[in-house]
Amino acid sequence: MTLFAQHRAFCAVLCLDLALIIPVIAQAAATPAAPAMVNTVPGMPAVIVPDNLYSEQTAGRFSSAVAGDLPRVYVPHIQSNDVYVIDPATRKVVDRFRVGINPQHVVPSWDLKTLWVANNAEGRRDGSLTPIDPKTGKPGKSIPVDDPYNMYFSPDGKSAIVVAEAQQRLDFRDPHTMALQFSVAVPGCGGINHADFAIDGRFAIFTCEFSSGLAKVDLVNRQVLGYLKLSKGGMPQDIRISPDGSTFFVADMMADGVFVIDGASFKETGFVKTGIGTHGLYPSRDGRKLYVTNRGSNKIHGKAHGKGSVSVMDFATRTVDVTWPIPGGGSPDMGNLSGDGKTLWVSGRYDNVVYAIDTIDGRVDTIKVGTEPHGLTVWPQPGRYSLGHTGNMR
């Protein structure tokens, strides 16, 4: 073979190789890189899908720990000091029982074996936590605990975090006996009440209802990292993290919408208008939408039949898809989604009712309950563990 023929043969092979390789390279370049695995704190369950931390609370993904639990909605009443129990199938009240003074929220435990009623006894020192056995729906003996307005759990499950609102303090307690482990003072957070946790479990952001801001708390070193004053000077309530863990959304009942907060820099980056008295935040079972309850009043003690509504916000676009008004007016407050994600259950705070809201078309069923219902929970819920509140599942 001549030198010229050898050169032509080499070029032909090279061109063929390039023709095969270049499309592969182009395809690889066009394919987004998979999200990096999340390096969580020791003891915290792994984040299965790094760009959707809600992946394990999708419809039907129930833990074996809740097998045999009664399907129920547990409704605490601040004024009548009791809990009503609703059968979600019949939408009727099937039981009621007394608990402590001023029950605020019903909180699923980290291990999903107990539902705790947080009785904060406003203005008194005889607060308590009442356990409910979800397999029987019956309460146990209350445990004396100082000022439990709300309760969360550390991501590793080693501590219950009692939000002592009046004391501006977080009390870390044994998650079973509620014996005090240690406390973290949060003096710059007046009205500390709701929280959500970083995707890796290293910090939490708490809302400060009476100081119009937020507090960022280091859960590893047990210290406050800083405070953030919100731009509109409102009254922040519930808070939820975005599916990818980068952003926190904060409901504000005075600003009538949701603040957008960058978790890493702890800076306000946006605001989404929703409705009057924005209050509770609940991710859809697929992690794509955020249901936002608007209580219909900017006052702590509002009136019945206000301009209450529920807005459906898209996590990705940060825009409101639709807002459903409560027919005849109402006061949707706190609650959670049914296990299949088809019904949003929320208390009607000033109307002494519970709303069962269809998540497809916003149709509302109303169930009469006791005086001033607040942080109800729906049980069981999908998920491997609970970070607290009315079912912050992961």
Q: Report the chain's terminal Cα–Cα distance, integer Å.
A: 69
Judge whether 106 lies within some domain: yes
CATH of the domain at 235: 2.130.10.10
Judge whether 282 lies within some domain: yes
Judge whether 248 lies within some domain: yes
Judge whether 391 lies within some domain: no
Beta-carbon contacts of 79 under 8 Å, excluding residues fewer than 6 positions away, are 102, 370, 371, 372
Judge whether 14 lies within some domain: no
A 10 A CB-CB count for 40 gives 17
Q: How many independent structural domains does the chain possess?
A: 1
Q: What is the pLDDT of residue 232?
A: 85
Cα distance between residue 59 and residue 56, in whole Å: 9
Domain that holds residue 353: 55-379
Q: Which residue has the tokens 């605020």?
A: 104
Please choose, from the candidates 392, 394, 372, 388, the residue with its C-alpha nearest in 3D space to the C-alpha of residue 104: 372
Residues 80-92 pLDDT 10s: 999 999 999 999 9
Q: What is the pLDDT of residue 348?
A: 98
pTM, full prediction: 0.91
Judge whether 16 lies within some domain: no
Please choose, from the candidates 27, 84, 35, 72, the residue with its C-alpha nearest in 3D space to the C-alpha of residue 372: 84
Please choose, from the candidates 124, 122, 118, the residue with its C-alpha nearest in 3D space to the C-alpha of residue 161: 118
DSSP-assigned letter for residue 214: E
Residues 264-304 pLDDT 10s: 999 999 999 999 999 999 999 999 999 999 999 999 989 99
Q: What is the pLDDT of residue 32?
A: 58
Per the structure block, which two tokens stand in for 127? 């607060």
Q: Give the helix/strand (H/E) hosting 161.
A: strand 160-164
Cα-Cα-Cα-Cα torsion 155, 390, 140, 380, nearest 10 degrees, comes to -90
CA 273 to chain centre: 19
Judge whether 31 lies within some domain: no
- Residue ranges in the chain whose pLDDT is less than 50: 3-5, 7, 9-26, 28-29
Judge whether 338 lies within some domain: yes
